[in-house]
C-alpha cells in the first residue's frame, strides 16, 4: 500500500495547469482526511486520465491547485477485461463489483440466469460502488455497467471468441488459454455463473455457441470468489505478457 490519496475530478474542471474539485470531494479532502495546503494528491477523471497535483487552497467551497504531471490511462491494464456474471444477492453482488473494479475490469455484464436468485439491479447504487472502488484502486477509467440481459441475448451481442466461461467441467486453465490464443486479443471476457451454477439448458447453450470452458481448480467456489480468482489469474497473465509463465 502507498499513501496516495485519490479524488474524482470532472474532466471539465481541468483547465490547463489547474484543477478544481467539486464540493463533495473537497469535503472529503478537507474535513475527512484533513489534508493540508501544499500536499500532493492524485486526481482521476473517470475517462482515462490521472493527475499528480498540488492542493493549494479552498476557493468558494472548492479545493483548487496546480497540476504537476498528467498520466494517460493511470492504473489501467493494457487489455480490456469484461466480466459477465449471474446476478447475486446484494451483499455478494456489491463485493463482486468492488473487487472486479479493483482488479481492472472495464465492462460489467450482469446476467439474468435460470438460477439467479436476484433478478434486478440497483444501477445507481452499483455505479456509486464502481466510482468509490476506482478511487480506492487509483484507476483513471470508470468501468461501464451494462443493463441486465438474458444469457441468450448477451451471447448474441458479445464477441464469443474472447469469452472464457469458468466451470469445473473445463479441461484447461485460464493461464494456458491466455498463452495459447488470447495473448494478442485487445479484450477478453470472463463469464461466471450464479449461485447454484449454470443450468443444463445454459450449459448446452454455451457449448452450442463454442464458448471455451476453463477450470479454477477442484474446489467449489462461491460466484464472487470465482470471479476474484479468475480475474487475479488474468491480471497475472497480462502483467507478465511477453514472458514465459
Q: What is the mean pLDDT of each run of 10 residues along the chain (245 residues)?
A: 85 96 97 96 97 97 97 95 95 96 97 90 94 96 96 96 93 92 90 93 97 91 95 93 47
Q: Which CATH number belongs to the domain containing residue 165 in this structure? A: 3.40.1280.10
Task: Say what the pTM is.
Answer: 0.91
Say yes or no: 35 and 87 in one domain.
Answer: no
Q: Distance (Å, rounded) from C-alpha 37 to C-alpha 65?
A: 9
Query: Closest Cα to residue 228, out of 113, 48, 117, 88?
Result: 88
Say yes or no: 108 and 216 in one domain.
Answer: yes
Instruction: Look at residues 72, 90, 116 and tell me which one is the last residue of a structural domain.
Output: 72
Contact 79, 188 (CB under 8 A): yes
Query: Closest Cα to residue 77, out of 136, 137, 128?
Result: 137
Q: Distance (Å, rounded) from C-alpha 70 to C-alpha 155?
A: 38
Say yes or no: 88 and 59 in one domain.
Answer: no
Q: Which domain holds residue 55?
A: 6-72
All cell numbers assigned to 161: 471468441
Say yes or no: 104 and 215 in one domain.
Answer: yes
Say yes or no: 66 and 131 in one domain.
Answer: no
Per-residue pLDDT tens over the stretch 157-211: 999 999 999 998 888 999 999 998 888 889 999 999 998 899 999 999 999 999 9
Q: Which residues contact 23 (CB under 8 A, 6 or more apart)?
A: 61, 62
Contact 98, 70 (CB under 8 A): no
In a domain, 1, yes or no: no
Instruction: Look at residues 56, 72, 88 and tell me which one is the last residue of a structural domain.
Output: 72
Amino acid at each position: 500500500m502507498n499513501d496516495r490519496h485519490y479524488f474524482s475530478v470532472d474532466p471539465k474542471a481541468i483547465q490547463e495547469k489547474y484543477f478544481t474539485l467539486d464540493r463533495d470531494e473537497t469535503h472529503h479532502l478537507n474535513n475527512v482526511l484533513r489534508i493540508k495546503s501544499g500536499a500532493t494528491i492524485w486526481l482521476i477523471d473517470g475517462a482515462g486520465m490521472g493527475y499528480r497535483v498540488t492542493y493549494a487552497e479552498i476557493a468558494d467551497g472548492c479545493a483548487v491547485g496546480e497540476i504537476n504531471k498528467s498520466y494517460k490511462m493511470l492504473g489501467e491494464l493494457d487489455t480490456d477485461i469484461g466480466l459477465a456474471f449471474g446476478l447475486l444477492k446484494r451483499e455478494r453482488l456489491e463485493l463482486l463489483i468492488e473487487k472486479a473494479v479493483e482488479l481492472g475490469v472495464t465492462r460489467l455484464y450482469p446476467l439474468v440466469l435460470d438460477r439467479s436468485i436476484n433478478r434486478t439491479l440497483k444501477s445507481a447504487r452499483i455505479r456509486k460502488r464502481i466510482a468509490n472502488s476506482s478511487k480506492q484502486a487509483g484507476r483513471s477509467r470508470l468501468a461501464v455497467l451494462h443493463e441486465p440481459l438474458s444469457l441468450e441475448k448477451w451471447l448474441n451481442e458479445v464477441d464469443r471468441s474472447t469469452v472464457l466461461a469458468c466451470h469445473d467441467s473445463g479441461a484447461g486453465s485460464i493461464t494456458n488459454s491466455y498463452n495459447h490464443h488470447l495473448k494478442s486479443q485487445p479484450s477478453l471476457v470472463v463469464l461466471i455463473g450464479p449461485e447454484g451454477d449454470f443450468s443444463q439448458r445454459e450449459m448446452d447453450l454455451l457449448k452450442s455457441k463454442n464458448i471455451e470452458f476453463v477450470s479454477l481448480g477442484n474446489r467449489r467456489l462461491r460466484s464472487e470468489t470465482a470471479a476474484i480468482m479468475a480475474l487475479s489469474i488474468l491480471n497475472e497473465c497480462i502483467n507478465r505478457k511477453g514472458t514465459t509463465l
